[in-house]
A and B are shown apart, each in its own frame.
Chain A
Amino acid sequence: MKFSQAGKMAVAAVLSNKLRSFLTMLGIIIGVMAVTLLISLVQGATNTVTESLDDLGGDQLVVSVTNTSKRLTLGEVEALADLDGIDRVSPTLSGRGTARADGNSSDVSITGITASYDAVQGMSLASGRGITQTDVDYRLSICVIGPTVSKDLFGTNADAVGRTLRLSGRDYRIVGVLEEAQETMFGSSNTEIYLPFTNAQRLLSSVNVTNFYVSVSEDASTDDAETALDRAMMAKYGDDDSYSIVNLTDIMDTINDVMATMELLLGAIAGISLLVGGIGIMNIMLVSVTERTREIGIRKAIGAQRTDIIVQFMIESVILSLTGGLIGMVISQGVLTTINTLYPDYHFAITGGTASVALGFSFLVGVIFGIYPANKAAKLKPINALRYE
């Protein structure tokens, strides 16, 4: 007998009892839905975290100096940019303060930066300009502010560029306003005020560079750059307790590892429901074999071989599990699309890998839980099967 013929028989059998077939599939539908939904949600969350880190600069090194007795000057830091594998260096100086203007005030974080900050960290301006080398060289009292600061001080729709705000008794002219940034787990630039580095030194009464970001040359690996940087810092401080270098790529790798483990764990838990669905299929297939004992007897009497019967019942069980899997996947895609529509910040999707794993497993479930009933059907003796009432 040809496979297509067995397929037709199996489809007819599945369709002949639609409600039962659907209820049987329900276990697989829910199982596949759970698997794809959970995996896709974890993957989506991982992507969001990775994107946040990327926004911070995926290929950069963050250096913090903890030894305050030994000065690290702006010039020394900028000289590090000449090291092999290092593209640019962006020193920062951070503090907190309250900005005032028009009788309004806003709590802000103050960051002194140089012109290379934009290249290393990235800065998207909604209006105005960023901080230039000239601003740093002449210690100009200008600032670039985050959108929240602008809103707090000047109202929602006002253009803050060209206006003035006060920080610790000094006036700063606003030259640029940042674009609204996405809130990340590391905070955002929305409540930030950026000053020229030299000006911030005076405002925050701090001369030393305490932090700086290093961007890695495109043709160099992050690890090589880290080694070169470490060597230079070691030469300056003599012991590695005085500073720390954080490799964002390492952090990202760690987070990805954790998320992958979580994905596997949740997938496995959801997989249990798939297993339960499979048992449901086996149960119904066994009932079906008993119910159709006479049919099997007739088929055998007119010449069906053992394999014909096995193939027919196996296809039936695989149809149930695969169709269930497909329906489950369509439903979870629907759920994900709904979430994406409601929360535009997220981009959840079922990847090709997830889809093939889910469908592969439903196929396997159909095969594994179909074997026993199919074999039971095939082993029936025609004489006994024909006598069955």
Chain B
Amino acid sequence: MIELHDIRKIYQLGGEEVHALDGVSLTIRDHEFVAIIGASGSGKSTLMNIIGCLDTADEGTYMIDGQEVSDLSERQQSILRNRKIGFIFQQFNLLPKLTAYENVELPLIYQGVSAHERRERVMEALEKVDLAHRVHHRPNQLSGGQQQRVAVARALVTRPTLILADEPTGNLDSHSTKDIMDLLKNLHAQGNTLVLITHDNEIAAQAPRRVRLFDGRIISDSRQDSDSSADGPEHLSDPDHTASADPLSGQTAASENQSEEQPQVSPGSRESSVDRNGGDAQ
């Protein structure tokens, strides 16, 4: 359970104050799949860094599982990142000198897991992302899609409360994008909480809940009815359904989504912002 309340983050840029986040309140329940959408400069990266405990808010409260993050020491925040959050980055951020296996193993090493248990969990994670056959390859011997799958394995090997994916498909071709998205949806179907940060409406449309950021504020928070009704036992029992159905429905979902969002934004000025925002993203 993630609870953000009135989060503000202000940067000083050349003597000018930039409100990267201007009072963001957001609650993400366990097992949810949320896409945070916004153009560059909308504050979505800042939000992701705060949710991931990589950065701290200037104002507001942020609780993970009932724990106020700003009360934690640097060391406790490291432990929290290690145990509760799995990161997936646009740049993959694998250590280039370590093999796929070693990259996935690293968070468990920092956690102090025994060698035997590490071996089991790393292999299990790599099997989940279908990379058990490339265990001893280094990142530069893997394709972009494979590297991102290693990163996914690294994120889920600690069995985190929250998987945080920052533009996970931003550096991938369409085929790998589909692979990764299928994988993420699968993880969600298996009960993981997933926060996906993207500027791409098409990608965002695959999430049952979409939060749109603009100029450091949340301008819309919508749920896709069809998906939220399916967001339960049906998914859990039949993960293949999501994988096969979504690429087809993705396009339609995106257009549905767009029309669905607009009524929620009441002031006219914001409506135009959304349009401009959407235009930027595409």
Residues of A in contact with B (beta carbons under 8 Å apart): 1-2, 5, 12-13, 16, 294-295, 297-308, 381-383, 386
Contact = CB atoms under 8 A, between A and B. Distances in A.
Nearest to A308: B110
Nearest to B107: A302
Given A1-B109, A1-B112, A302 B97 contact: no
Interface string B46-58: 0001001011000
A139 B212 CA distance: 124
29 contacts: A5-B109, A12-B97, A13-B97, A295-B95, A298-B93, A298-B94, A298-B95, A299-B106, A300-B81, A301-B52, A301-B54, A302-B87, A302-B106, A302-B110, A302-B154, A303-B78, A303-B83, A303-B107, A303-B158, A304-B82, A305-B75, A305-B78, A306-B74, A306-B78, A307-B75, A381-B54, A383-B49, A383-B55, A386-B54
Given A301-B93, A303-B158, A305-B78, 4 more contacts: A301-B52, A302-B106, A304-B110, A383-B49
**Interface residue range, chain B:** 20 to 34
A301 B87 contact: yes
Nearest to A382: B54
A381 to B, nearest CB: 8
B79 interface: yes
Interface string B123-136: 00000000000000
Nearest to B92: A298
B111 A303 contact: yes
Interface of B: 49, 52, 54-55, 74-75, 78-79, 81-83, 87, 89, 93-95, 97, 106-107, 109-112, 154, 158
A12 to B, nearest CB: 7
Nearest to A378: B74
A289 to B, nearest CB: 15
Contacts of B87: 301-302
B101 to A, nearest CB: 13
Contacts of B95: 295, 298-299
A167 B280 CA distance: 119
Contacts of A298: 93-95
Contacts of B89: 386
A299 B82 CA distance: 10
A318 B87 CA distance: 32
B107 to A, nearest CB: 4
Contacts of A306: 74-75, 78
A131 to B, nearest CB: 79
Contacts of B83: 303
The residue among A13, A303, A308 with the most chain B CB atoms within 10 A of its own CB is A303
Contacts of A294: 93
Contacts of A302: 81-82, 87, 106-107, 110, 154
Given A16-B97, A386-B93, A301 B81 contact: yes
Contacts of A386: 54, 89, 93
A294 B75 CA distance: 19
The residue among A13, A294, A302 with the most chain B CB atoms within 10 A of its own CB is A302
A179 to B, nearest CB: 66
A305 B110 contact: yes
Nearest to A294: B93
Contacts of A300: 78, 81
Contact of B79 (A2, A13, A303, A382): A303
A355 to B, nearest CB: 34
A102 B114 CA distance: 91
Contacts of A305: 75, 78-79, 110
Contacts of B111: 303
A1 B75 contact: no
Contacts of B112: 1-2
Contacts of B82: 302-304
The residue among B55, B95, B154 with the most chain A CB atoms within 10 A of its own CB is B95
Given A12-B97, A295-B95, A383-B49, A303 B110 contact: yes
Nearest 5 CB-CB pairings of A with B: A303-B82, A305-B78, A383-B54, A302-B107, A383-B55
Contacts of B78: 300, 303-306
Contacts of B79: 303, 305
